[in-house]
Amino acid sequence: MKKYTKTHEWTKAEDGVLYVGISRHAVHELGDIVYVELPEVGADVTAGAPACEIESVKAVAEVNSPVTGSVCKVNDALEGSPELLVGDPDAWIFAVQPSEAAEGLMTEEEYLAYLG
């Protein structure tokens, strides 16, 4: 089950790892995505702090890590095909091995209510 942040990232836990992507709302707001700057595998990330960037025809947006930990995987397919984020709502950007529990994440229902 996906959980969401107030900055429009989603997370999905799988085998102790949190996969991170951007919400459909974020994809819609960004428009055509032209580049994804992936974090380095092994990089330390902090909950609520930028982990990477996405460039679209409209803007450059930071993608925050929803949890503190270490990047253990990146979705290399996005380097050559950043538009995968637009066509696949389950396209993840990076995965984090958390060093502490994630806090403040919302269910899909809570996230939709947050969007209004």
- Structural domains of the chain, with CATH: 3-100 (2.40.50.100)
pTM reported for the whole predicted model:
0.95
User: For residue 102, what are its two tokens?
Assistant: 């994630």
Q: How far is CA 75 from CA 8, 71, 106, in A?
A: 18, 11, 24
pLDDT given at position 87: 83
pLDDT given at position 77: 95
Quickly state the pLDDT bin for 37 (edges 50, 70, 90): very high
Section 81-95 average pLDDT: 92
Q: Which helix (H) or strand (E) holds 56?
A: strand 50-56
pLDDT above 80 (res 89): no
pLDDT given at position 116: 93
Cα–Cα distance measured from residue 66 to residue 50, given in angstroms and rounded to the nearest whole number? 9
pLDDT above 90 (res 88): no
